[in-house]
Structure 1
Amino acid sequence: MSALFSLALFVGAALLFVLEPLVGKLLLPLLGSTPEVWNTTVLFFQAMLLAGYAWTHLTSRLLSPRRQALLQLAVLLAAAVALPIALPRGSHPPTSAEPIPWLLGTLASVAGLPFFALAANGPMLQRWLSSLRHRAARDPYFLYAASNGGSLLGLLAYPLALEPALGLRDQGRGWSIGYAVAGGLVAVSAAALWLRPRSGREAQPEPLAASGEPFAVGDPAHHIDLAPLQLTRRLRWLLLGAVPSSLLLGTTTYITTDLTPIPLLWVIPLALYLLTLVAAFYPGGRPERLAALGRRLLPGIAAALVYTLAVGSDRPLALLLALHLLGLTTAALMCHSLLAADRPPPHRLTEFYLWLALGGVVGGAFNAILAPVAFPTLVEYPLAIVAVCALRPRPPSSRTDLLTLLVKDPRATRLMDLVVPMILGAGTAVALGAVRAGSPSGAFEASSVVIGTACGLSLNLLRRPLRFALALGAILLTPALAPPAGQRVLARERSYFGTYRVLAVDASRLHALYDGTTLHGLERFGTPGRPQPLGYYSARGPVGQAFAQLPAATTRRAGVIGLGAGALACYARPGQRFEFFEVDPVVVAIARDPALFDYLRRCPANVVVGDGRRSLQREPPGRFGLLAVDAFNSDAIPINLITREAVELYFTRLQPGGAVLFNITNRYLALEPVLGNIARQARLNCVAQRYSPTRARARRGDLLSQWALLTRSRADLGRLGSDRRWHACVRDPSDPVWTDQYSDLLAALRLG
């Protein structure tokens, strides 16, 4: 019986984790990668999950398990009308109106009902099992471990197996088959509910002891606890769900932007997070022991994390990745084990899961919606570290601290929870400023000693979790109070697309625009005359060669997808018109700021804010002689800009003899074969070049770059066709052509 219920939840949860990326890929070509689209989609699925849990809680209060089972089967059957998962034929967002209402309607019609029905299964099947005369009915929470195991399978299966093997149409059909299997398993579970004898207390089985262990029959406490739940306990469930959810997103954002933008790296933190849920609710497990283990390990790991964040460490990469992932795993294991240890009697499990789901929504919304607007940097990650340390249970101790012995008033002890961290933070800031001013050449080493000492001192505050957490928070503030010399931060900006910094290196007057660790623009600022494009766009590199050797008619009117600092604008000659398409208005503001970059001020160009592909669809055919697509040098490449359909769109917007120039510089993805395959199928000419500057050119601001150029014929290359630095694009016959229906990041990944 328990195996049947476990399998039903396992399959349903796996389907939920597959459905979200599947629907996202369906919508990407139509709507592009704007933040309002992404956030609306994420919030829609979170709302559906919460609605499913709320539906289960409501029907559990109104209906017996048997009647609830009949209703759930009807819901599952009704939701099947949305299958197979696919966009309606001829479905397109409005071109002149706000797309969000259309998006919400499409999400609801395509995936809303199936997602809602499967989401409701989680707590509902646990309630059904708890109503049966079965040994597993006394503690059905182990089914939550099975559900999260299914989520883990779905998480890994989509990017590693389903996406590389199937197009979107086949994925939608396969998902529909999986839905039928999940529905069949729920139907069999409902039949078992009706056929097996009831416990006599159908909706109210035995409660759990305070330790989380099932009560033994005959135990004097073997009764139904009808006392109302305290609000503080509900809020504790919410916090224990919200904080690790926020920490998960914060860790993922940090390691994929500030450490290394490796594609699919985001899978690892989420997999570890799900594993902690499996471990905490594993049948026969001891969540109290796991919580105690997390409580003991967390302070040292948190102090090490704070040290690396405060000093700005980004090497050694493997060690730092391991540390941040260990921190997430330890914190999530502690929080989830505390939840498992505090699980209520089974007749209250639907409310327990409702508060847990609400916590997940709160944590996710804080990171995805509020943080990019409220904070200029990734503040939410260190905030989550501080918060999880504050949630850490007080260690058992019979000793009394000195302050409590001297001052009997507990208010003084609580006051010191604020005063001690303030003193530690102020002392660290003063020491940090002194060592940085006194020894600029050895500032990093001296700063490391100061911050390391402060982190070591904070470990003496472990008996007061709030005091320890606030001490770590104070240490994290000190680098902002005493910034390092040499490399100055001219600006910090944040948007839903990224976290941007503009750095100035005093000795060379270089201004550099970064999104995390990815360089997006470089200029030697303040030089007289017209700025010289640097970085990936240098005159000696592929871009300069293209503008110098392509026919003049081709470069007369250019469109550019991706703005960066605006360097390409300075390739425009008198009488030529350049137009940029940039999805992030924050990048536009940075590029136009005369205190940061001169490119757009001295080389005026028109800038259109919006998704590049959607913006091009609104342009008339034959508008441009040259299109430059410059959006692939980070891990989160917009796949909708490098599919066969996208390339076909580009050429409809080109004049006869026009060309498309792709910046395929990428540390982790081999994109040349992707374009080579598309060009071969579309019968286009494709040439590429990997440019490695000399040391002298690198000192002047040239960067290693790789570009590809597509034309209708080789004759359209002009003098570039005889330039031996360019070669025919490499093709990979084993990899299918990328389309709006199919793409495979895993096949393009290169880590060597």
Structure 2
Amino acid sequence: MLYASTIFVSAFLLFLVQPLIAKHILPWFGGTAAVWTICLVFFQFLLLAGYIYADRISRLPVRRQAIVHTVLVLAACLMLPVIPDASWKPTGDGDPTLRILSLLAVTIGLPYLVVCTTGPLVQSWFARVHVNDPRQARVYRLFALSNLASLIALVAYPFALEPYASLRVQSWAWSAGFLLFAALVIASAWRTERRIGAAIDPLAPTVPPATDGARAESAQSADGAEGNSEVPPAATAPRLADYALWLCLAALGTVMLLTITTHITQDVASVPFLWILPLALYLLTFILCFDSDFWYRRWIFWPAVIVLAPAMVWGLRASGGVLQIEHALPLFGGGLFAVCMFCHGELVRARPAPQWLTRFYLMVSLGGALGGLLVGVGAPRLLDGPWELPMALIAASLLLAYVSRRLAGSYLMILAASLVLGLIWYLEHKLILPKNNVLMIAIGLSAVLAGALIAMRRSIRAGGALLAALSAAFCFWFARDYASFMFDNTQMMTRNFYGTLRVKDYGTISQSRYLVHGVISHGRQYGDADLRHRPTSYYSESSGAGLAIAKVQSARPHLGVIGLGVGTIAAYGQPGGKVRYYEINPAVMDIAHDHFSYLKDSPAAVEVVLGDARLSMEREAAGGALQQFDVLVVDAFSSDSIPVHLITREALAIYMQHMKPDGVVAFHVSNRFLNLSPVVAQLAQDVGLHAVEIDDVPPPENYWQDTTTYVLVTRNRAFVDDPDIVARSVDIKPIPGLALWTDDYNNLFRILK
């Protein structure tokens, strides 16, 4: 019970601290999804470091293990509480990856490392205490318990902790939980020492490496032992091929988690808390697979991967690249679950005897870290578009083909796969048949050949290997179509830390050019003379922003904009006036200058400040460079994901420092899922400001305008009493029980529509 409690508490803290620390630092780095991805990479590599430590220390005498680990745990306690220092806020506009990683290392590094070591280390202690005991066979079930605790923490944070506690309270609560964990893990270490004494590693590996025949026999035996979690793995030393398989399976699971999460939250729907779904499915597969062999059945999950992998690649371009959420979530959620069940189920099938337990977990952790590195760091720098998901699905099918062929040992499947692929090439390039016809012929021939292989070899695995190889081919075929779709009408595509941006042209008579990030347009400009210099989309003359600018008394208005987009607000500029933009993404600035003309054509002086808007304005105020804006438009929202730090009490105070006495802050709060108007109104009321909501629903013939909702905040009573403002204003209905948003507390759950 002590070992289980220690593992449960450690895993709970492990997953609880991830969103907690990320929420602390997200506002400092622009609040983008890329910051969370970098955090995940850090957590994966620290998990790897923890597993390396566990593997090395587990080879020491138990007494020495207890002494060393106790010292490490007590040292970690000295770093509490886990509250980031404000000195780590960025000061420039460069890539913040190294700064984020350094901040995390200094703030949470040692406590997180200690928590990471717990799973494999305590399991190794459990195995030592129960050596030659039937209970030793249950040691891998403790890994399922740790993932269950992680899943509970994942769900508890956004729904049970975040809505009721400030960040500072959350940090102190986690620190108190760490002290409880420290007591449990130290007690576990010394209990193990008392039970074993001075004995040196009762699980020392003395079994010679397995031969190929013995390994195949072991795999065949494991395949027939479904549902029996009490059967221990054969006590044979792992080979190099086993290490490579553990690594690849673990890496693929992590890559699938990160790529599916990015896709459904950016390209399907930026619904708050949607990121929980893929992570919960990922953890659930670990829980099921390591709990019992009963849950992973090859005859269920192999066909699921074979079918769903190409289906997911097809889904990337279905319905014009915007598959409806009610279809996308079952497809990509089910596909993620199937692939992760395959990865983690095969990991369990290939697990070694307890002698090599820590080495097994080390390779699993290394695979997870490499997968995170590929997606979080490698892909944004090596790929010019969102290609990692189709590449991962091709890899999933190929890995399934390898596992199938490894078990079946049949080379006939290679010949059959080559035959089908050759036929596909001939039908498409020589006979030039429609793609749908080629696809149906290929699927039919594949089924016939798979059935023949199964009959000849008397093994389902031989047919599975063929179908998996062909699944990879279909993934590649659909991926090629997806790439063509992404480049269709695309003038340029670029990618960096903040995501993938595309410039797309549409239409022939009234040509329009769009800036697209994910599924959301961040502005457009028309080519004909009547509309080329006209503000469009969310910033038209009838929008809240347009109305506020129209009421400016100065003939040379000074306009501020948080979020550059294509530079549409510059169309409001007047000779002698200024338009000052704040933009965090350097690629957006390059695109606005090179592919759109709003900035170049504006009669006003246009400035673009690179970096997080709030931090830039803080530095300007500290240096005495107050901007004196007539109107400040706050519109830095990426899709429907809002950078919360731009809509808090502290943020509003910074904005008002830069406003003229009668200036107006225009918050663009159009959102499909969040009701932001009451949040802004409450912020204004808290400091005695006036707030009005302006809704704009343009007629269908005004195709250059979009439906918008703005909340205008000002000190100027005359502005809100203006007849035009009164005629357009809408009552803002308060949300009962809504607490004031601050840097230390905010709650998206309370404002869900």
TM-score by length of 1: 0.86
Q: What corresponds to 1:579 in structure 2? A: 580
Does the CA contact (< 8 Å) of 1:237 and 1:356 recur in 2?
Answer: yes
Moved more, 40-49 or 562-571: 40-49
Q: Give the counterpart letter for 1:51 in structure 2.
A: A
Q: 1:691 to 1:203 in 2, by over 3 A?
A: farther
Kept in 2: contact 1:425–1:478 (CA 8 A) = no
Output the CA distance in 2 between the equivalents of 1:230 and 1:398.
Answer: 16
Find the counterpart in structure 2 of residue 118 from structure 1. 115
**AA aligned opposite 2:344:** H
- Pairing of 1:486-565 with structure 2 (within 5 A): 488-507=489-508, 508-527=510-529, 531-552=533-554, 556-565=557-566
Q: Residue 735 of structure 2: SS of its match in structure 1?
A: coil
2:105 to 105, 108, 129: 108
In structure 2, C-alpha distance between the alignment counterparts of 1:398 and 1:622, rounded to whole Å? 70
The structural deviation recorded for 1:74 is 2.3
CA distance in 2, matches of 1:429, 1:52: 53
How many residues are matched?
Answer: 711
Q: Which amino acid aligns with 2:529?
A: T
Q: Distance in 1 between matches of 2:406 and 2:25?
A: 56
Q: Is 1:337 the counterpart of 2:335 in the alignment? A: no
Q: Which residue of 2 aligns with 1:389?
A: 397
Distance 1:286 1:38, change over 3 A: closer
Aligned partner of 1:166 in structure 2 is 165
Decide which moves more: 598-607 or 318-327: 598-607
1:659 equivalent in alignment to 2:667: no
Residue 708 of structure 1 and its aligned partner are, at CA, apart by: 1.0
The structure 2 residue matched to 1:670, chosen from 675, 680, 687, is 675
Out of 699, 711, 717, the position equivalent to 1:714 is 717
State the percentage of identical aligned residues.
33
Q: What residue in structure 2 maps to residue 132 of structure 1?
A: 129
Answering whether residue 153 of structure 2 is matched by residue 154 of structure 1, we say yes
Cα displacement string for residues 609-651 of structure 1 (whole angstroms, at most 9, x for unaligned residues): 2111112122222442321111225232111111111111111
Question: Which residue of structure 2 aligns with residue 60 of structure 1?
Answer: 58
Answer with 465-474 or 448-457: which moved more.
Answer: 448-457
**C-alpha distance in 2 between matches for 1:365 and 1:396:** 29
Aligned to 1:704: 707
**Alignment partner, residue 746 of structure 1:** 749
| Distance 1:422-1:262 versus aligned 2 partners, 3 A rule | farther
Which AA in structure 2 matches 1:69? A
**Counterparts of 2:636 and 2:430, CA distance in 1:** 43
**For 1:100 and 1:720, how far apart are their aligned partners in 2?**
50
Which letter does structure 2 place at the counterpart of 1:503?
K
Which of 12, 15, 19 does residue 14 from structure 1 map onto?
12
CA contact (8 A) 1:272 1:329 kept: yes
The 1:722/1:105 distance shift into structure 2, 3 A limit, reads closer
The superposition leaves residues 199-241 of structure 1 with CA deviations (integer Å, 9 ceiling, x where unpaired) of: 9784307999655679x9xx9x99964x4x3222111111000
Q: Which residue of 2 aligns with 1:296?
A: 303
| More off after superposition, 655-664 vs 448-457 | 448-457
Q: 1:241 aligns with which of 244, 250, 253?
A: 250
AA aligned to 2:363 is W
In structure 2, the partner of 1:314 is: 322
> Deviation at 1:478?
3.8
Tell me, yes or no, if structure 1 residue 424 matches structure 2 residue 438. no
Q: Identify which of 717, 732, 738 aligns with 1:735.
A: 738
Relative distance call for 1:632 and 1:711 in structure 2 (3 A) is same
Aligned partner of 1:232: which letter?
A
Secondary structure (helix, strand or coil) at the match of 2:701 reads: helix
After the TM superposition, which of the residue ranges 669-678 and 179-188 deviates more from structure 2? Answer: 179-188
Cα gap change, 1:426/1:250 in structure 2, threshold over 3 Å: closer, same or farther? farther
Deviation, 1:398, is 12
Amino acid at match of 2:287: V
Note if contact 1:310-1:451 (Cα within 8 Å) is conserved in structure 2: no
Look up the equivalent residue of 1:14 and give its one-letter code: F
Q: CA deviation at 1:502?
A: 2.7
Q: Distance in 2 between matches of 1:324 and 1:423?
A: 30
- Unaligned segments of structure 2, at least 5 residues: 208-214, 451-463
Q: Give the stretch that moved more between structures: 163-172 or 190-199.
A: 190-199
* 1:246 CA drift (Å): 0.6
Relative to structure 1, the CA distance from residue 330 to residue 38 in structure 2 (aligned partners, 3 Å threshold; closer, same or farther) is: closer
| AA in 1 matched with 2:248 | L
1:372–1:494 Cα contact (<8 Å) kept: yes
Q: Which residue in 1 is equivalent to 2:210?
A: none
Distance change >3 Å, CA 683–CA 314, structure 1 → 2: same
**Per the alignment, in what secondary structure is the counterpart of residue 370 of structure 2?**
helix
Amino acid at match of 2:11: A
Give the AA of the match of 2:157: Y
- Native 8 Å contact 1:241 1:359 kept in 2: yes
Over 3 Å counting, the alpha-carbon distance change for 1:608 and 1:15 in structure 2 is same
Q: Within the alignment, does 1:692 sit opposite 2:700 as a pair?
A: no
8 Å Cα contact 2:562/2:582 also seen in 1: yes
The residue number in structure 2 matching 1:408 is: none
Task: Give yes or no for contact 2:28–2:612 (8 Å, CA) kept in 1.
Answer: no
Q: Is 2:720–2:726's contact at 8 Å kept on the other side of the alignment?
A: no
Contact preservation (8 Å) 2:548, 2:664? no
Deviation at 1:93, TM superposition (A): 3.8
1:460-471 residue pairs with structure 2 within 5 A?
462-464=464-466, 467-471=469-473
Is the deviation greater in 116-125 or in 366-375? 366-375
- 1:663: how far off? 0.9
Q: Secondary structure at the match of 1:736?
A: coil
Following the alignment from structure 2 to structure 1, what is the Cα–Cα distance between the partners of residues 512 and 287? 50
Contact 2:155 2:276 (C-alpha < 8 Å) held by counterparts: yes
Which secondary structure state, in structure 2, belongs to the residue aligned with residue 520 of structure 1? Answer: strand
Shift of 1:449: 6.8
Kindly state the Cα deviation for residue 317 of structure 1 after the two structures are TM-superposed.
2.7
Could you tell me how far apart the structure 2 residues matched to 1:140 and 1:690 are?
60
The AA in structure 2 aligned to 1:166 is: A
- The one-letter amino acid of 2:644's match is I
Alignment of 1:374-385 (within 5 A): 374-385=382-393
Contact 2:145 2:287 in 1 (8 A): yes
Deviates further, 196-205 or 18-27: 196-205
In the alignment, is the contact (CA less than 8 A) between 2:562 and 2:635 conserved in 1? yes
The Cα shift of 1:530 comes to 5.2
Q: Superposition pairs for residues 29-108 of structure 1, below 5 Å?
A: 29-33=27-31, 41-61=39-59, 63-88=60-85, 91=87, 93=89, 95=91, 103-108=100-105
Amino acid at match of 1:550: V
| 1:181 shift after superposition | 2.0
For residues 29 and 232 of structure 1, the distance between their equivalents in structure 2, rounded to whole angstroms, comes to: 44
1:277 matched to 2:280? The reply is no
Cα separation, 2, equivalents of 1:222 and 1:559: 66
SS at match of 2:352: coil
Matched, 1:475 2:484: no
The AA in structure 2 aligned to 1:302 is A
AA aligned to 1:670 is: N
